[in-house]
Amino acid sequence: MEVITVPILPLRMLQSHIVRDQKSIIVDTGNPGSVPKILDAMEKHKIAIEDVSLILITHSHLDHSGSAAELQKVLNVPIAMHGFEKEYVENGTRLPLTPKDWFGKLFKKTPLIKKNVERFKVNIILKGDEDLKQYGVDARVVFTPGHTPGSVSVMLGNGEMVAGDVVSGGILLGGILNNDVPTWPIFHDDTINSIKSLKQIINLSPTKVHVGHGGPVYVPSIKKFIDHQS
């Protein structure tokens, strides 16, 4: 089993991930127009289209679900996502964004934020604790709300985790510098639930936490980050 990082923006500002085991799953799809980057990564790592069994979206924000509809047309596999955010992607609307800091407030004014996600149907509604072995991957879904109401992470059998935007690493949007230093994403709904989700991640003891912006981050630094929030 391995986790392949797919750069969507430079300097680790945004990435999706491919989890390769007996089969492969795509975790998050990046902004609209990111499909060629995902397909290039698959080709580079010799992953055929027929080797992919699932697209899993950690949450409905545009930078994670923006290419799901297009990618599904290419791969012809189901899309899995938590039911709490299903209506947004199926209606082509946006989950309200809550800026965490000055950069989030500034970024919210950019044209990208005003775009809607191309509609797609959620074929598999997640709640948390789903076993992904039926998709050829030794992994389990973990419900990790806080960044958004329906955020999920994926705990892998090799001890690593793919955690979407439960936490970020780096500065500003994420990435750029200090990628392994945890920080809150620039949009962030519920700090209390986010801290609970991070404590849940700590209890799972992942050896490495892959995130959507910056990273990877590690449990000792996540513990320090939580301590500084109180």
Q: Where are the domains of the chain?
A: 2-229
Specify the fold of 2-229.
Metallo-beta-lactamase; Chain A (3.60.15)
d(CA 82, CA 109): 27
Q: How many CA atoms lie within 13 A of 92 on its CB side?
A: 6
pLDDT at 230: 62
pTM: 0.94
Residue 99 phi/psi, 5° resolution?
-65, 140
Model pLDDT, residue 21 = 99
Closest to 119 (Cα-Cα) out of 95, 92, 81: 92
- The whole-number pLDDT of residue 155 equals 99
Work out the angle at residue 148's Cα, subtended by the Cα atoms of residues 157 and 77, and round it to the nearest 5 degrees: 55
CA distances from 65 to 103, 123, 136, 160 (A): 22, 14, 22, 22
pLDDT tens track for 97-134: 666 665 555 655 566 666 667 899 999 999 999 999 99
Encode burial over 65-102: b for 16+ CB neighbours within 10 A, e otherwise: bbbbbbbbeebebebbbbebbbebbeeeebbebeebee
Going by their DSSP bridges, the two strands 152-156 and 208-210 should be labelled as unpaired
**pLDDT for 110:** 62
Q: What is the H or E stretch that residue 35 is in?
A: helix 35-44
Torsion of CA 14, 32, 201, 128, to 10 degrees: -170
Q: Give me the residues of the chain with pLDDT under 50, please.
A: none
Q: Among 162, 170, 160, which residue's Cα sits nearest to residue 205?
A: 160
pLDDT digits (tens, 9 = 90+) for 129-148: 999 999 999 999 999 999 99
Confidence at residue 94, expressed as pLDDT on a 0 to 100 scale: 72
